[in-house]
Structure 1
């Protein structure tokens, strides 16, 4: 609902429906070639339907959630490091 209140669009996708690589890439806002690399490297699970990669929305959204959590943790660590460095500089003055 936050997205709607900010004027952003939302997508409703049945959970059992498998997404094409383009649909999956659009959903998580990355390029299709980047998504395909993530599939090939095993970072996102997928199924093959003939020659086509198919991705579960649940798997894709879990990948996105985990990626955001990892980024948040890395930023928190950088923030703490920077705060420590600033404190050390101020004490040295």
Structure 2
């Protein structure tokens, strides 16, 4: 396999691991929605995404956003924001 394929496969595998975690968290959620902040914290998915010479105030959840979008595009999760602008995800049932 070439590096492009390997990287794509690894990112997709990570997305499916995140989906497993979301499925587990959904079981203990009263309405089925899991806060994105909780997912990112549980899976340690907050990272600094700029070179050291640049300034970023704190780690961001950009990796989880990519993983969630992959899962959304595959029709495996759905997304919503509440009135306080907090993001939530839940698995879609087929």
Taking structure 2 as the reference length, the TM-score comes to: 0.30
For the pair shown, which has the larger CA radius of gyration, 1 or 2? 1
Structure with the higher fraction of residues in helix conformation: 1
Structure with the higher fraction of residues in strand conformation: 2
Q: Which has the higher contact order (CA 8 A, sep 6+)?
A: 2
